Amino acid sequence: MSDWREVLQVQFLGNPLGTWAVAVGIFLVTFTILPLLKRFITARRRARGEHGGPPVLELLALLVQRTARLFLWGVALWLGAQDLSFPPKVERGLTVALVLLFWMQMARWTMTAVRFAVDARRQRSTGPDTLLKSSMAVILFIAGLVIWGVAALLALDSLGIAVKPLLAGLGIGGIALALAVQSVLSDLLASVSIALDKPFALGDALGVDDISGTVEYIGVKSTRLRSVSGEQVILSNADILKARVRNFGRQHERRSLFRLDVHYETPVAALAAVPRAVKEIIEATPETRFERCHLLGCGGPALQFEVVYFVTTAEFQVYADAQQSINLRILERFRTLEVTFQAVAPTQVQVRQPPGPVEAGRQARLL
């Protein structure tokens, strides 16, 4: 027995072998139990589904799942080294490594909690929350910058490094960097504005100046549209906020205005019957709402009836089918009423010399 005690008291790297044995035992037990516990909780979460429990327990299970194996190794090492003494340089290196591991894991847990909150908000919304989905990348990007930046500062402060002079230096350098990447920061702030104000979302049909397309992607620097002709148009977020944007994706109904040019020789009784006939035709057309029909023009080349109605859906195909049906039935009814259309003379075209290259390019762009 005394021999074993003597062996356990033998010094190795500044610590008795008995202390080393206890430290290694604690390390092995901890590094075995913690991964098994993590695997058990992860398996239980997957078995009941991703949203099969109370939000608090679901968040705790998700945090356990997002715990890095390297962090578990650091916890086991820290617990095992409590009774060991090391040289100052080794102890300092060990402390730096453990502090960095701790704050890295804290930042990872915080990012997981932010993602969980965003997903929970999307799950509570009625229907697919495309607005939240489109702004999620921007929200997570900004949250990541803030969280990892704060974690780095806290880690440096825990290691005894003065943070205030560092912040002052970063402030001066940040001003110089902001001036150098002013356009990039402008797009970044514009993306934050889009994420918060949500003027459009994925899948919305937009008209930005002379560009029309469907939103495919909203990023930190740019927004990408798929134009009606098939190509992808990339616009910077700052340019979009400066432009007049028409969002057809939030159009609930479509207003249609058209004119009917009638011959002056049409009898007055037939002219008086036109508004009532047009109203009956539009009201008989599915998914439409009649607004008005009036004879508003008498001094031009023809008598002009102005017709306004609404299509109760924003789909262009429905509008085109309704307009076609209305046109055909108006032609049929006008023949019954003996109302004739007046062919308006085209605008007189002036003969000009062939345009030069600059003027030709300008006309091509207008077309």
Q: At what angle do helices 130-158 and 182-197 cross, to 10 degrees?
A: 120
| Same domain flag for 104 and 13 | yes
Does residue 73 fall inside a structural domain? Answer: yes
| Same domain flag for 23 and 106 | yes
The pair phi, psi for residue 224, each rounded to 5°, is -115, 130
Q: From CA 284, how far away is CA 335, in angstroms rounded? A: 19
Q: From CA 76, how far away is CA 70, in angstroms rounded? A: 10
Q: From CA 24, how far away is CA 8, in angstroms rounded? A: 14
Does residue 63 fall inside a structural domain? Answer: yes
Lowest mean pLDDT among 72-81, 234-243, 268-277: 72-81
36's tokens: 């098994």
CATH assignment of the domain containing 246: 2.30.30.60
Does residue 78 fall inside a structural domain? Answer: yes
pLDDT confidence of residue 283: 94
| Same domain flag for 105 and 187 | no
| Same domain flag for 223 and 262 | no
Q: Give the domain extent around 276.
A: 254-337
Q: How many structural domains compose the chain? A: 3
| Same domain flag for 233 and 318 | no
| Same domain flag for 100 and 11 | yes
Does residue 296 fall inside a structural domain? Answer: yes
CATH assignment of the domain containing 300: 3.30.70.100
pTM value is 0.49
Domain end among 194, 221, 250: 250
Structure confidence by residue, pLDDT tens digits, 88-128: 787 888 888 888 888 898 999 898 888 888 777 666 654 44
Q: From CA 277, how far away is CA 238, in angstroms rounded? A: 50
| Same domain flag for 79 and 67 | yes
| Same domain flag for 300 and 268 | yes
| Same domain flag for 37 and 115 | yes
Does residue 353 fall inside a structural domain? Answer: no
| Same domain flag for 220 and 332 | no
Domain end among 250, 283, 301: 250
Structure confidence by residue, pLDDT tens digits, 170-226: 665 555 555 555 666 777 778 778 877 778 888 888 888 888 889 888 877 888 999
Does residue 165 fall inside a structural domain? Answer: no
Does residue 162 fall inside a structural domain? Answer: no
Does residue 123 fall inside a structural domain? Answer: yes
Structure confidence by residue, pLDDT tens digits, 324-339: 999 999 999 999 998 9
| Same domain flag for 52 and 16 | yes
| Same domain flag for 106 and 24 | yes
Q: CB under 8 Å to 274, separation ≥6 — which residues?
A: 260, 262, 293, 295, 305, 334, 337, 339
